[in-house]
């Protein structure tokens, strides 16, 4: 049985490994190139940054092309990884269970969460290596009754050098990313094609026969018995739309806003991001020096990296955003999002000031990198783990399937979903594999 898996991020790498181990002949098609972390010391850029000579965030792609950033509206930047490992190679390494909206559709991923946690072994980062101000903010949050918890992390403290730059790739190999599953899949015989962008699926009537690709600039087609789209919350709907299939205008992104303050000598970058978090109904608060805002947000320009302190709000945003036929993406902050941000900002301010951070506290850039919701599962889809309208032989295994925003880390959720989809595929094709 020939299976094509599109994308090698949290969803793609997980399902490719599982299908390959269960008798499928797996071909992984990845739009990006092999991932290389950004290894330059950022101190060289500080003078340029202060003088505003780095320009806008768009310039970052010349230095680090794996991070794909674009504005979905004037005030919102969306971020994703286009490379082997997808967005997991840009992650902070937080590995947390989240399942907002899944109970409503009758989906319980507990067995998959347990299985993956048993492999990835998330553990809190040792508290003695948190920066003093981060510890102090945690104490203040605790005194305020915000119940801060150490974040389970897939970061090996023995290898981590506390450079604080997880989002540009871990050059020490301390942080787990989905390339570990990808490597296992290829060691077991799966084939990986990089720089291979899938443009559309090939349909004969209501049956999928393969995909059309652009490989190193050359158009071609590849045949398969089944195609799994794991191109993420934007890539997957782009392929579906190109193929004449419908997607929903329910893109969510778990929008992040970091409140930036000043504490001389805090050196917050010298720890992994987000070592603790405080969970609320619609958002989390977590210590975080937002490097995007540090580099590219004009109001943050005057403060040096060693004195900058941030507390992040990650919001479960309104599920409203569109991926159009021409590939464009449109998403705005809603009034509802603004109201929740206002509530969270008040708490963040209290924590920071209570911990001795100096005012002015200035908002960073709105950005989102948990992209989902464009092919949402409904209750009736859960038994077969695929939307009922999908052509035969076509599957989705990425965050696009999740109907609600989470306001929480989403790698574990995506991988758990992909594992469940894999079980269903194996079950359905069992007879043909014998």
Ligand X SMILES: Cc1cc2nc3c(=O)[nH]c(=O)nc-3n(C[C@H](O)[C@H](O)[C@H](O)COP(=O)(O)OP(=O)(O)OC[C@H]3O[C@@H](n4cnc5c(N)ncnc54)[C@H](O)[C@@H]3O)c2cc1C
Residue ranges in 86-105 that form contacts with ligand X under rule CB under 6 A: 86-88, 90-94
Of 393 and 409, CB closest to ligand X: 409
| Distance from C-alpha of 268 to C-alpha of 308, rounded to nearest angstrom | 7
Q: How far is the CB of 235 from ligand X (least distance, A)?
A: 3
> Site for ligand X (CB under 6 A): which residue of 409, 416, 420, 422?
409
Q: How far is the CB of 116 from ligand X (least distance, A)?
A: 11
Q: How far is the CB of 358 from ligand X (least distance, A)?
A: 28
Q: How far is the CB of 61 from ligand X (least distance, A)?
A: 14
Of 30 and 136, CB closest to ligand X: 30
Size of the site for ligand X (CB under 6 A): 42
Residue ranges in 267-326 that form contacts with ligand X under rule CB under 6 A: none
The residue with its CB nearest to ligand X is: 9
Of 7 and 101, CB closest to ligand X: 7
Measured N-to-C along each axis, helices 411-433 and 110-120 cross at an angle, to the nearest 10 degrees, of 110
Q: How far is the CB of 175 from ligand X (least distance, A)?
A: 9
What are the beta bridge partners of residue 372? Answer: 252
Q: Are strands 207-215 and 218-223 parallel, antiparallel or unpaired?
A: antiparallel
Query: In degrees rounded to 5, what are phi and psi of residue 117?
Result: -60, -35
What are the beta bridge partners of residue 208? Answer: 203
10 Å Cβ neighbour count for 121? Answer: 13
Of 80 and 250, CB closest to ligand X: 80
Of 357 and 418, CB closest to ligand X: 418
Which runs of E-coded beta strand occur in 216-354?
Answer: 218-223, 226-229, 256-262, 276-279, 283-287, 308-315, 322-323, 329-330
10 Å Cβ neighbour count for 114? Answer: 11
Please answer whether residues 162 and 130 qualify as being in contact, where contact means their C-beta atoms are separated by less than 8 angstroms: no
Q: How far is the CB of 367 from ligand X (least distance, A)?
A: 8
Of 94 and 268, CB closest to ligand X: 94
> Site for ligand X (CB under 6 A): which residue of 164, 226, 414, 421?
414
Examine residue 148 and tell whether it contacts ligand X (CB under 6 A): no
Please answer whether residues 308 and 300 qualify as being in contact, where contact means their C-beta atoms are separated by less than 8 angstroms: yes
> Site for ligand X (CB under 6 A): which residue of 120, 133, 231, 375?
231
What are the beta bridge partners of residue 25? Answer: 2
Of 357 and 404, CB closest to ligand X: 404
Of 191 and 358, CB closest to ligand X: 191
Of 10 and 262, CB closest to ligand X: 10
SS3 (DSSP) at 183: helix
Measured N-to-C along each axis, helices 335-354 and 132-143 cross at an angle, to the nearest 10 degrees, of 110
Query: In degrees rounded to 5, what are phi and psi of residue 2?
Result: -95, 125
Residue ranges in 329-388 that form contacts with ligand X under rule CB under 6 A: 369-370
Of 110 and 432, CB closest to ligand X: 110
Residue ranges in 201-230 that form contacts with ligand X under rule CB under 6 A: 230
- End-to-end alpha-carbon separation of the chain, Å? 10
Residue ranges in 8-67 that form contacts with ligand X under rule CB under 6 A: 8-12, 29-32
Examine residue 82 and tell whether it contacts ligand X (CB under 6 A): yes
Please answer whether residues 91 and 169 qualify as being in contact, where contact means their C-beta atoms are separated by less than 8 angstroms: no
> Site for ligand X (CB under 6 A): which residue of 232, 260, 261, 310?
232
Q: How far is the CB of 226 from ligand X (least distance, A)?
A: 16
Examine residue 410 and tell whether it contacts ligand X (CB under 6 A): yes
Examine residue 164 and tell whether it contacts ligand X (CB under 6 A): no
Of 112 and 140, CB closest to ligand X: 112
Query: Who contacts 224 (Cβ-Cβ below 8 Å, separation ≥6)?
Result: 2, 3, 4, 27, 208, 209, 210, 211, 393
Shortest CA distance to 401 belongs to which of 385, 388, 380, 383?
A: 385
> Site for ligand X (CB under 6 A): which residue of 112, 136, 167, 317?
167
What are the beta bridge partners of residue 80? Answer: 68
Please answer whether residues 112 and 328 qualify as being in contact, where contact means their C-beta atoms are separated by less than 8 angstroms: no
Examine residue 403 and tell whether it contacts ligand X (CB under 6 A): no
Site residues (CB under 6 A) for ligand X? Answer: 6-12, 29-32, 79-83, 86-88, 90-94, 167, 197-198, 230-233, 235, 239, 369-370, 398-399, 409-412, 414
């Amino acid at each position: 049985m020939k299976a094509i898996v599109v994308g090698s991020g949290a969803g793609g790498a997980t399902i490719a490994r599982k299908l390959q181990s269960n008798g499928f002949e797996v071909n992984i098609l990845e739009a990006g190139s092999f991932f290389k972390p950004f290894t330059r010391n950022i101190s060289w850029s500080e003078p340029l940054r202060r003088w505003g000579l780095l320009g806008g965030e768009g310039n970052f792609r010349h230095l680090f092309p794996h991070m794909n950033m674009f504005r979905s509206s004037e005030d919102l930047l969306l971020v994703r990884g286009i490379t082997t490992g997808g967005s997991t190679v840009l992650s902070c390494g937080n590995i947390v269970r989240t399942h907002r909206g899944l109970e409503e559709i009758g989906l319980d991923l507990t067995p998959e969460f347990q299985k993956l946690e048993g492999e990835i072994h998330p553990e809190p980062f040792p508290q003695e290596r948190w920066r003093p101000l981060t510890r102090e903010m945690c104490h203040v949050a605790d005194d305020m009754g915000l119940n801060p918890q150490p974040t389970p992390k897939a970061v090996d403290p023995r290898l981590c050098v506390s450079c604080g730059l997880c989002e540009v790739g871990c050059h020490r190999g301390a942080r787990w990313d989905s390339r570990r599953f990808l490597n296992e899949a290829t060691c077991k015989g799966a084939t990986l094609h990089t720089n291979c962008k899938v443009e559309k699926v090939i349909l004969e009537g209501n049956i999928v026969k393969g995909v059309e690709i652009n490989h190193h600039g050359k158009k071609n087609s590849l045949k398969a018995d089944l195609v799994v789209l794991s191109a993420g919350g934007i890539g997957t709907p782009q392929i579906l739309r190109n193929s004449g299939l419908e997607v929903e205008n329910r893109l969510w992104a778990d929008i992040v806003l970091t409140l930036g303050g000043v504490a001389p000598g805090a050196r917050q970058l010298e720890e992994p991001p987000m070592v603790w978090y405080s969970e609320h109904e619609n958002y989390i608060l977590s210590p975080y020096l937002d490097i995007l805002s540090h580099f590219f947000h004009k109001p943050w320009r005057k403060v040096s990296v060693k004195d900058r302190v941030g507390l992040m709000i990650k919001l479960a945003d309104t599920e409203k955003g569109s991926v159009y036929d021409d590939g464009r993406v449109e998403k705005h902050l809603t009034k509802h999002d603004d109201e929740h941000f206002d509530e969270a900002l008040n708490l963040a301010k209290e924590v920071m000031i209570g911990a001795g951070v100096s005012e002015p506290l200035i908002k960073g850039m709105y950005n989102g990198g948990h992209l989902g919701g464009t092919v949402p599962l409904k209750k009736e889809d859960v038994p077969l783990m695929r939307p009922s309208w999908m052509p035969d032989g076509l599957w989705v295994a990425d965050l696009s399937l999740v109907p609600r925003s989470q306001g929480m880390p989403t790698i574990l959720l995506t991988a758990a979903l992909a594992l469940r989809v894999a079980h269903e595929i194996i079950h359905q094709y069992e007879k043909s594999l014998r």
